[in-house]
Structure 1
Amino acid sequence: MHKIFNSFIGVLFLVLIPQLGMVAAEEFDLAINNGRVMDPESGLDAIRHIGIIAGRVVSISEQALEGERVIDAEGLVVAPGFVDIHEHGQSEESYRLMVQDGVTSAFELEVGTAMVADWYNDRAGGQLLNYGISVGHIPIRMTLFNDGGRFLPTGAGGSAIAGPEMLDRMAEMLRQGLAEGAVAVGFGLAYTPAATQAEFEAMLAVAAETEASVHIHTRDGLEGLRQIIGSANNAGTPLHIVHANSSGGASIGEFLAIIQAASDSGQDVTTEMYPYEAGASDIASALFDNWETWEDDRFARQLWVETGERLTRESFARYREIGGRMISFSRTEEMTRTALQHPLTMIASDGRILEGSGHPRSAGTFSKVLGKYVREEGLITMMDALRRMTIEPANRLQGFVPVMENKGRIRVGADADITVFDAETILDRATYVNPTQPSMGIEYVLVNGAVVLDNGELNTTIRKGTAIKSN
């Protein structure tokens, strides 16, 4: 029904409001004139003028438009608002930084939540951007096993074996979350080492009862990736592998080749990357259970987020008892470039800022790609970068989340989620020392037609961001 309704609305706009801007000038709430409109869905890359009414694009014209407000975008790129398909920082603090990085919709799909309805209710009343959540295998395990971890398992949630009764309860909670509007199913298999292959496949079977995609942090290297791809293929679930650059590491070329081969065979599988050499995670998580076997120099490549200090074997042991976030410098720039150049990789931040601390990817992912890798280095084209930031993540979700058919694109009838930036100046400014420095060069951000970033200034009183759900 959602798809039929959205299709009807799109046709209605096309019939009543032709693309050459035939709506009377005074009827536009907002016009964006003279910008270089770049829409990866249609391939449009030309000077156009956009008319917006009631939060939707109603005209894409070759002639200048008038309205209650007119933004002159001469010399600027007018693109679909960026869709961050992997963002843990679902809070006001993170939303502010994301908007200044051009993001108009942000999703927490790897970890997710066990309480979907409560999660959406906590954000009701309008946010700076659009937001959505998965129902997550990790938090369900943490709930059922009474794990005291704040974000990721630190006890039985990751280490306990689930018996038949517990598996039934997990499946029941997954179904409930999907019924409450979760947009996907999330798995962090690297954080739940006790979750058996049988458990994983049982949860995939629940996801397969719907059209929900499964978003998975892999484990066990290349062989683990092959096993996950095979299991998802057998279950018939759309598969998304999170942060390929991180999970692939030094084997990133082969890691992506395995995903590409599955895609070429007809399987619905996608992936993503973020443009940084360092990752971040909770120090007490299962990712670092083998820390006592590390060589001493590996500790020096770990940065404690709260203080900015580099760790030693002794300080690592101390902080692991306390718990908290750690940044790990574990990859090379060449690995990042390999991931970015691969045509299957979307751009996603994997970000999270908490009380001013975190990883710079939370604030700078999209601007870094457009500034460093597109403008300065020419590693990929601007249209290709925008494709990975907009239409591709929207397409990943829209099979189960019909409202995404109107996100990630600039066309008549689409939601007016729009990012306007200066291609000559856009760049990230966040660093590992100061991760909350907002990006530069993004001039305007519209969320459902409302100007949230206005001439480079964030307006926190404008809250037109809405919940994105599967129902």
Structure 2
Amino acid sequence: AAEGRPINYGASVAWTYARIEAKEPTMPAPDGTIVWFQQAFSKNNWQNTLATPDELKQILGSVEQGLKEGGLGIGINAGYAPGYGHKEYYELAKLAKSYEVPTYTHVRYLNSAEPQSSFEAYQELISLSATTGAHMHICHLNSTSVQDIEDCADLVQSAIDQGLAVTTEAYPYGAGSSVIGAEVFRGDDWLQRWGVPSASYMEANGKALNQEKVTELQATAPGTVVVMHFLKPDENKEDRAKMDRSVLFPGAAIASDAMPWMDDKGALIEGDVWPLPSNAIAHPRSIACYSRFIEKYVNEYKAVSLVEAMERTSLNACRILEDAIPQMLNKGRVQVGKDADLAIFKLDEVKAVATFEKPNALSTGMEYVLVNGTPIIEAGEMLLDSNPGEAVRNKVTG
């Protein structure tokens, strides 16, 4: 779409949607909404079965069409469909390489213990980079490694040291978010895979659940958005060390993995709504990811300088994308001739106010934000009629 938005915008091609469309023919056609995606979790076939040759052809055809239309790469939510084929993943990597775009993978397994471990899932991804030459990007090194961040990070770093095109990112929280019907929360051993003692580490609408409630929601409302704690870095030094290893991984970007906003009854908040309703629920990373990184890792922990923090929250993402997306060569840099995408803030006033109990609370300290040289925040106030953002597309479409 050529219509402006407040921020620059683009999207990868959703393999998940293509797979659901091929494997679940009774589902309506994908409409790109979270509601459609939630409804898909009442189905099981797409998550746990191999694609037939005809289905694979349809999946690859749909994904390729998206690349021709400017997709920024192939988004592969493998953790939501762990039963898909290794050959299917191989074909997706080959397709990405043929268009010289990355894959962005939420890896197949979330599991601290073998077999079917996160470590094994990273091995699969790394092997495809080695065999196809594709740029394989790992989404959320923190949450997809669960308790095994140290060994997983060592493995990924070794691949990078060998010259493989592998990149990653993380968000500065020890909790992930998804829908309760996802395969990562199913099975008798799901708590052991996450490495946590009880179902109370999962929350819905800010309230801790028990196993009985988890089972009930999976049967009756599998699209319910939940928050799952796997580390508690603000309470535990060992968890903080694991978090640091992922968030401060060399060359990694800080990425929010933002979730859509729901009300406290579970209904999606749709449209251009601002300010958010007082009962809006999501993971706090949806609104406070970057403020939390600056507050914690610059101001409190003194773990990185402000310059390095800016590199991790802006330039590193551009570096990950720019070979496939030439527009990103003009982003993330404060230089003559580059796009004027600028954030101006008071460092000592930057605070992530949002919590898991009150996730919609606005961060403080941000004074001005400019997109392509035009303010969208001015003197701390959002300019709701300012839409200077532009579409970002792959080099196939320019």
Q: Same fold (TM over 0.5)?
A: yes
| Amino acid in structure 2 at the alignment position of 1:312 | N
Report what 1:197 is aligned to: 86
**Shift, 1:345, TM fit:** 2.4
Deviation string for 1:131-161 (max 9, x for gaps)? 1101121111011122757326522221232
Is residue 2:324 matched to residue 1:400?
Answer: yes
For the residue of structure 1 that corresponds to 2:386, the secondary structure is coil
Give 1:310's match in structure 2, choosing from 198, 208, 225. Answer: 208
Would the alpha carbon gap of residues 358 and 271 (structure 1) be closer, same or farther in structure 2, given more than 3 Å must change? same
Q: Distance in 2 between matches of 1:382 and 1:261?
A: 28
1:450-461 matches, within 5 Å, as 450-461=374-385
| Amino acid in structure 2 at the alignment position of 1:386 | M
TM-score by length of 1: 0.71
Percent identity of the aligned residues?
28
Deviation string for 1:395-451 (max 9, x for gaps)? 111111111111111111111111111111111111112211121111100011111
The answer to which of 334-343 and 256-265 deviates more is 334-343
1:51-66 matches, within 5 Å, as none
Aligned length: 347
Q: Distance in 2 between matches of 1:414 and 1:468?
A: 15
**Shift, 1:454, TM fit:** 0.2
Q: Distance in 2 between matches of 1:315 and 1:363?
A: 27
Give 2:20's match in structure 1, choosing from 131, 135, 142. Answer: 142
Is residue 2:165 matched to residue 1:268?
Answer: yes
1:374-389 matches, within 5 Å, as 374-389=298-313
Q: Distance in 2 between matches of 1:277 and 1:129?
A: 27
Report what 2:37 is aligned to: 151
**Shift, 1:293, TM fit:** 6.2
Would the alpha carbon gap of residues 293 and 143 (structure 1) be closer, same or farther in structure 2, given more than 3 Å must change? closer
Contact 2:105–2:138 (CA under 8 A) maintained in structure 1: yes
Contact 2:47–2:183 (CA under 8 A) maintained in structure 1: yes
**Shift, 1:353, TM fit:** 3.0
Q: Distance in 1 between matches of 2:160 and 2:369?
A: 34
Q: Distance in 2 between matches of 1:300 and 1:289?
A: 15
Give 2:140's match in structure 1, choosing from 230, 234, 243. Answer: 243
Q: Distance in 1 between matches of 2:255 and 2:190?
A: 32
Q: Distance in 2 between matches of 1:231 and 1:198?
A: 10
Give 1:352's match in structure 2, choosing from 259, 282, 289. Answer: 259
**Shift, 1:344, TM fit:** 3.1
Q: Name stretches of at least 5 consecutive residues in structure 1 with no aligned partner.
A: 1-120
TM-score by length of 2: 0.84
| Amino acid in structure 2 at the alignment position of 1:320 | Q
Q: Distance in 2 between matches of 1:180 and 1:338?
A: 37
**Shift, 1:182, TM fit:** 0.2
Q: Distance in 2 between matches of 1:293 and 1:166?
A: 29
Q: Distance in 2 between matches of 1:413 and 1:344?
A: 25
Q: Distance in 1 between matches of 2:173 and 2:197?
A: 20
Report what 1:338 is aligned to: 245
Contact 2:23–2:55 (CA under 8 A) maintained in structure 1: no
Q: Distance in 2 between matches of 1:293 and 1:131?
A: 35
Give 1:252's match in structure 2, choosing from 133, 146, 149. Answer: 149
Q: Distance in 2 between matches of 1:364 and 1:157?
A: 33
Contact 2:106–2:138 (CA under 8 A) maintained in structure 1: yes
Contact 1:260–1:344 (CA under 8 A) maintained in structure 2: no
Would the alpha carbon gap of residues 293 and 405 (structure 1) be closer, same or farther in structure 2, given more than 3 Å must change? closer
Q: Distance in 2 between matches of 1:412 and 1:293?
A: 52
Deviation string for 1:197-221 (max 9, x for gaps)? 1111011111111110111111231
Higher relative contact order (CA 8 A, sep 6+): 1
For the residue of structure 2 that corresponds to 1:326, the secondary structure is strand
Q: Distance in 2 between matches of 1:185 and 1:423?
A: 36
Contact 2:252–2:316 (CA under 8 A) maintained in structure 1: no
**Shift, 1:297, TM fit:** 4.8
**Shift, 1:364, TM fit:** 0.6
Give 2:227's match in structure 1, choosing from 327, 344, 353. Answer: 327
**Shift, 1:292, TM fit:** 6.9
Deviation string for 1:79-105 (max 9, x for gaps)? xxxxxxxxxxxxxxxxxxxxxxxxxxx
Q: Distance in 1 between matches of 2:376 and 2:230?
A: 36
Deviation string for 1:119-141 (max 9, x for gaps)? xx4xx421111111011211110
* Structure showing the higher strand proportion among its residues: 1
Q: Name stretches of at least 5 consecutive residues in structure 2 with no aligned partner.
A: 28-34, 110-116, 234-239, 262-268, 270-279
| Amino acid in structure 2 at the alignment position of 1:337 | D
Question: What root-mean-square deviation, in Å, do the aligned CA atoms of Structure 1 and Structure 2 show?
Answer: 1.7
For the residue of structure 2 that corresponds to 1:215, the secondary structure is strand
| Amino acid in structure 1 at the alignment position of 2:216 | R
Would the alpha carbon gap of residues 327 and 291 (structure 1) be closer, same or farther in structure 2, given more than 3 Å must change? farther
Would the alpha carbon gap of residues 430 and 293 (structure 1) be closer, same or farther in structure 2, given more than 3 Å must change? closer
For the residue of structure 1 that corresponds to 2:291, the secondary structure is helix
